[in-house]
Amino acid sequence: MDMRSNNHQQQQQQVLDGSDIVELVENEKVFDKFVEQKFQQLDQDEDGKLSVKELQPAVADIGAALGLPAQGTSPDSDHIYSEVLNEFTHGSQEKVSKTEFREVLSDILLGMAAGLKRDPIVILRMDGEDLSEFIHSPGYEAEIVSIYFSALSGCEEASLRDCIAKALQSLSVDHGMPPPNDPWVISNIVEPIVESCLDEEDKREKCVSQERFLEAFKRVVERVAQRLNEQPVIVAHSENTFDGSGIRRLLSNKFEFDKALNVALEIIPKDRHGKVSKEYLRAVLDTVAPSATLPPLGAVSQMDDMIREALKMVNGDDGKMVKEEEFKKTMAEILGSIMLQLEGSPISVSSNSVVHELRHLPAGGSG
């Protein structure tokens, strides 16, 4: 967070570090009541068991709490959804009893709490005050002029409307702006406000001067601040740092490491001599990733590059068939090399997303 707005934001933020979840799960009476309530809500036909269909809303809520996009949005996240469902049904079992439901829910919630303890989520209530403060701060004009030049570079033919839309993308949560590339923010805040602030002629105007741009941009941002003041937007902000410590922990525990690899290797095809193709290194690494506190494939591009390099170093793409023992040894080498690189230069990722409702969070009494 930026120093400029720290004071204000301290009053407007709430930190989710998992302690509420742990409290809920560890208080047997309260948790029993929570499970009872959830179970009754889900058990539509009231037969005292949950079918796969009845479990769906719970799976969707858990996915939302894990920060996943809605089901059916991407194959990667759908894979996690089906794993959450498998946790409940153990793959085959048709219906789930209340005892099983309680056990699995407690495991999942404690897992989430551990994740939140490591990487807390900060809930920001953006009410336009920080944004107003930014517009009236001494550094405002210089910053917007530099945004103006970078927004214009390479698109001198752009209309005033496009310039403003592009320049808005440069504002961030640190400026008091909800994430401007969030689809909800674009269609509910950015687009309608840009539309209402400019008349038809303005919108099409090209090659605008710096003065014209500054004047129109300020009008738009002021209107955004006003809109936030009338209807604040809730944003979840999280920062994850991958520093290799998770890999070090996994590699130093041979039992855990073997277990994680065996689980991952179970679903990998082997030839009749029990050999495995090295082309599966990437897939196995992705399965082991959560135990090594690594992000899933495709989530963090710097991480993907680092992994690609590590695979290249061990000739991971030569497709050779190797014995399981050798495959495991190579996997340890790959993880070791990623660990050393991360320890030298950790990768930090911050993400901001608009929260529309907090019903999926068990804390707060609304669940």
- Each residue 91-110 as x (binds Ca ion by CB under 5 A) or -, in order, gives --------------------
Q: Which is nearer to Ca ion, 50 or 163 (CB)?
A: 50
SS (H, E, C) 264-319: HHHCCCCCCCCCEEHHHHHHHHHHHHHHHCCCCCCCCHHHHHHHHHHHHHCCCCCC
Nearer to Ca ion, 52 or 158 (CB): 52
In whole angstroms, how close is the CB of 183 to Ca ion at the nearest point?
Answer: 35
**Number of amino acids touching Ca ion (CB under 5 A):** 3
Do 366 and 269 touch, CB atoms closer than 8 A?
A: no
Nearest distance from C-beta of residue 46 to Ca ion, angstroms: 7
Closest contact distance (angstroms) between CB of 97 and Ca ion is 10
> What is the SS3 assignment for 88?
helix
In the bound state with Ca ion, the residue whose beta carbon lies nearer, of 41 and 350, is 41
Closer residue to Ca ion in complex, CB, 13/89: 89
Stretch touching Ca ion by CB under 5 A, among 20-28, 35-43, 152-160, 359-367: 35-43
Residues 31 and 37: their CA atoms lie apart, in Å, by 10
276 has which bridge partners?
322
CB of 25 to Ca ion, least distance (A): 24
Nearer to Ca ion, 46 or 157 (CB): 46
- The answer to whether residue 47 forms part of the interface with Ca ion (CB under 5 A) is yes
Q: What is the C-alpha to C-alpha distance for residues 347 and 304, in angstroms, rounded to an integer?
A: 11
Residue 43 binding Ca ion, by CB under 5 A: yes
When the beta carbons of 2 and 45 are compared against Ca ion, the nearer one is: 45
Q: Applying CB under 5 A, does 317 fall inside the site for Ca ion?
A: no
d(C-alpha 316, C-alpha 331), whole Å: 10
20 vs 43 by CB, closer to Ca ion: 43
Residue closer to Ca ion by CB (options 45, 83) is 45
Q: Which stretch binds Ca ion (CB under 5 A): 43-51, 79-87, 190-198, 200-208?
A: 43-51
Residues with Cβ < 8 Å from 69, sequence gap 6 or more? 77
Q: Residue 45 Cβ, how far from Ca ion at the closest point, in Å?
A: 5
Q: Read off the tokens for 7.
A: 């004071």
Q: Of 47-55, 57-65, 208-216, 271-279, which segment contacts Ca ion by CB under 5 A? A: 47-55
Residue type, 132: S
**CA-closest candidate to residue 1, choices 356, 350, 353, 354:** 350
Contacts of 314 (CB under 8 A, 6+ apart): 281, 330, 333, 334
**By the 8 A CB rule, do 187 and 357 touch?**
no
- Provide, rounded to whole angstroms, the least separation between the CB of residue 95 and Ca ion: 7
Q: Which stretch binds Ca ion (CB under 5 A): 11-19, 36-44, 145-153, 322-330?
A: 36-44
**Stretch in the footprint of Ca ion (CB under 5 A) among 42-50, 170-178, 274-282, 344-352:** 42-50
β-sheet bridge partners, residue 107? none
List Cα–Cα distances, 75 to 4, 119, 268, 296, in angstroms.
Answer: 40, 25, 19, 12
Q: Return the residue of 2, 45, 258, 343 that touches Ca ion, per CB under 5 A.
A: 45
- Rounded to a whole number of angstroms, the minimum distance from the CB of residue 37 to Ca ion is 15
CB-based contact 106:26 (threshold 8 Å): no
Contacting positions for Ca ion (CB under 5 A): 43, 45, 47
